[in-house]
Structure 1
Amino acid sequence: MFANSRIKRRSRASSPTATRLAAYPAARVEISEEQRQDIKEAFELFDSDKDHAIDYHELRAAMRALGFEAQKSEVLKIIRDFDKTGKGLLQMDDFIRVMSEKIAERDPLDEIKRAFELFDDDGTGKISLRNLRRVAKELNENIDDQELEAMIEEFDLDQDGEINEQEFIAIMMDDS
């Protein structure tokens, strides 16, 4: 009898569900409150029927909105690992758990470089006045050219009139 109970315990501990859930730690991952709010807002935005659960397509769109280009297999695995209803749905608390873990795993330097590319839409390797003007317009910010030029001048270490990737990284990593 004792031998049988050990076998049962071992099989439960190594069940497929336990193994899958172990990939997503239950402990609260260290992310900022702003990031946590972004995750929640993405979920709410893509929960089109407002049933507090999202399906495959909604999950993939929400992940993209948060900056993750997830492959079909990854999205399906997340749903398979967390689907509590058997209907192919992911609940909000599980979405927050998974996305918090993914955000915590991001390399900050990679994120900064990705942000630089958003500014450098013409692929010159530098952020020009024209690039800043476009971003300000996209964000509906009313900033005149004088202010934009002052921003460039403040951070343009090599004095070429534009912000290169290294200067951008220095700006973004400045803790002061």
Structure 2
Amino acid sequence: MSAANNNSQKKGLSNLKVELLNEQKQEIREAFSLFDMNNDGMLDYHELKVALRALGFDLSKREVLEIIHEYDTDDRNLISYENFFHAVGEKIVNRDPMEEIRRAFKLFDDDNTGKISFRNLKRVARELGENLSDEELRAMIDEFDLDEDGESTYLPFYYGVFIFIVLPT
């Protein structure tokens, strides 16, 4: 990596640290720590691919190799925490919030009905380790169930996520 490229990365890193939310910074730290299997402070190709996937980026082999090529400072095919932070942080900052909402809806709608049912919501809560009662889950569905059929379609889900999650940040 050239000195000019390294300097521009350092400037970019300080700007990136300002743009990322503390929660996002913590997620990046945790992913790096969790997938640095041999605790050497570096991620190899396999560790990087899994860490990226855990953060919501399902990249092809070619894309992961491009990240390694761009951020590997000593030709060992490894990425340090700082470079991982920069590469992932850049991807997080450049995410399209609308696409993220569509992806989230699809994660809930695992039966591809175009709706989120009580069963869908309960499954996701269980997978995330959330201990919510059936009453709490039903209240969440009811909040966005415009036609009162016991399920939420995409549009109310979208507006709910947008209003409660996207706008406050």
TM-score w.r.t. the length of structure 2 is 0.85
Of residues 1, 4, 15 in structure 2, which corresponds to 1:28? 15
Q: How many residues align?
A: 162
**Deviation of the 1:118 alpha carbon:** 1.1
Q: Secondary structure of 1:28's partner?
A: helix
Structure 2 match to 1:151: 140
**Deviation of the 1:158 alpha carbon:** 2.6
Identity of aligned residues (%): 49
**Deviation of the 1:110 alpha carbon:** 0.6
Deviates more, 1:136-145 or 1:63-72: 136-145
Amino acid at match of 1:168: F
* Cα 1:21/1:95, change in 2 over 3 Å: farther
**Deviation of the 1:165 alpha carbon:** 0.7
Deviations 1:98-146 (A, max 9, x none): 1000011110011111111111111100011111222222233333333
Whether 1:55 and 2:41 are equivalent positions in the alignment is no
**Partners in 2 of 1:41 and 1:97 — Cα distance?**
15
Larger Rg: 1
Structure 2 match to 1:135: 124
8 Å CA contact 1:120, 1:131 repeated in 2: yes
Structure 2 match to 1:79: 68
Structure 2 match to 1:66: 55
Structure 2 match to 1:171: 160
* Cα 1:81/1:20, change in 2 over 3 Å: farther
8 Å CA contact 1:17, 1:81 repeated in 2: no
Of residues 82, 90, 98 in structure 2, which corresponds to 1:109? 98
Amino acid at match of 2:15: R
Gaps of 5+ in 1: 1-14
Structure 2 match to 1:123: 112
**Partners in 2 of 1:109 and 1:68 — Cα distance?**
16
Structure 1 match to 2:151: 162
Amino acid at match of 2:61: K
**Deviation of the 1:151 alpha carbon:** 1.8
Q: CA RMSD in A?
A: 2.3
Structure 2 match to 1:8: none
**Partners in 2 of 1:131 and 1:82 — Cα distance?**
39
Structure 2 match to 1:93: 82
Gaps of 5+ in 2: none
Whether 1:45 and 2:34 are equivalent positions in the alignment is yes
Q: Secondary structure of 1:58's partner?
A: helix
